Amino acid sequence: MAWYKYGEFLKQSTGDAYDSEYHPGVAAPHAGVYRCAGCGREIGIAQGHTLPPQSHHQHTLAEGAIRWKLLVYADHRHGSEHK
């Protein structure tokens, strides 16, 4: 679970970017914190950098395949609005 101290620096969003799942080894479409939909492991990554490969961590059969979902978008454009 992602943690934060200063809530005034976070905004809630209902954008579609948070609903997509991304396969291991693809470029991250957004900078931020991604969470594995199967096991809950989290990573921070820059936009365009490669999401961790399948060998990054192991899953049980119950957890299914590794798939990353955007959890927290890191807006690097000062003062801009996001989805």
Instruction: Report pLDDT for 53.
Output: 85
Instruction: Report pLDDT for 75.
Output: 86
Residue 81 has pLDDT above 70, yes or no: no
Instruction: Report pLDDT for 76.
Output: 75
How far apart, in whole angstroms, are the C-alpha atoms of residue 35 and residue 51?
11
Rounded percentage of the chain residues whose pLDDT exceeds 70: 93
Average pLDDT, the chain: 90
- Could you tell me if 48 and 28 are in contact, meaning their C-beta atoms sit under 8 angstroms apart? yes
pLDDT tens figures, 13-42? 999 999 999 999 999 999 999 999 999 999
